[in-house]
Amino acid sequence: MISMMFGLKIDNVNRKEALRYIERFFVDDGFHYIVTLNPEGVVIAQRNRDFSSVINSADLVVADGSWLVRALRFLGEEIEERVAGIDLLLDILKLCRDRGFSVYLLGAREEIISSAKKRLEEMFPGIRISGFHNGYFDTNEEKRILDEIRLLKPDFLVVGLGMPRQEIWINLHRDLPVKVAIGVGGSFDVISGNIPRAPYWMQSIGLEWFYRVLKDPRRIRRLSFIPRFLLLVLKNKLGIV
């Protein structure tokens, strides 16, 4: 079942159901990509038609954010639960380890992505990380990255370039020999230990984003997305949109 918010589709699934869909993606033919949509993404998509089109073309869109789940229910849409992007990512990586699927990591600074790779190899002994590259590249370097991915043919491509760049980049390269791709934002920073994850009580009440801002003040400009998102929701509820 699909829920809708401001013209964006969101799959009404819980975390276990999402993983079952993804398991099928790995054995199906073709390329599949996953979007973990949060309030920031909803706001961006209202002004970026390319991004909204990419969201609606995705094979799976999960509600990544307590505020997003609350807003959907406030607007009368059904939604199972929040599916946190980093939790889903770790679920998929465990699946890759268990099933022997190979992984390619793309994004973050060089020291962060390198640390994230090592940490994942500790978390999931035996996982096949066939390659990785930082997220800072020009056109020439991008070509080399694409050539490497085509050569390695990873089953799972994890892209952390920030929203909406990562989703648009993934969609632009749907011809890559990859089974499943996902955009993960700043998850590499968390996995590497560069930025600790919020305590569970903050996650449970939808304040994980605030905790990240406290730990990384460079993210403070992103606080503006919260009132803009809430205003969108309120205007929609009142029929002003």
Q: 7 in a domain, yes or no? A: no
Q: 8 in a domain, yes or no? A: no
Q: 4 in a domain, yes or no? A: no
**Who contacts 132 (Cβ-Cβ below 8 Å, separation ≥6)?**
104, 105, 106, 113, 114, 117
Q: 63 in a domain, yes or no? A: yes
Q: 79 in a domain, yes or no? A: yes
DSSP 148-208: HHHHH--SEEEEES-TTHHHHHHHHTTTSS-SEEEE-TTHHHHHHTSSPPPPHHHHHTT-H
Q: 6 in a domain, yes or no? A: no
Q: 158 in a domain, yes or no? A: yes
pLDDT of 241: 62
**Cβ(202)–Cβ(208) under 8 Å?**
yes
**pLDDT tens digits for the chain (241 residues)?**
899 999 999 999 999 999 999 999 999 999 999 999 999 999 999 999 999 999 999 999 999 989 999 999 999 999 999 999 999 999 999 999 999 999 999 999 999 999 999 999 999 999 999 999 999 999 999 999 999 999 999 999 999 999 999 999 999 999 999 999 999 999 999 999 998 888 888 887 777 777 877 877 777 777 788 899 999 999 999 988 6
Q: What total of structural domains would you count in the chain?
A: 1
- Domain boundaries, position 172: 15-189+196-237
* DSSP 8-state assignment for residue 239: T
Q: 167 in a domain, yes or no? A: yes
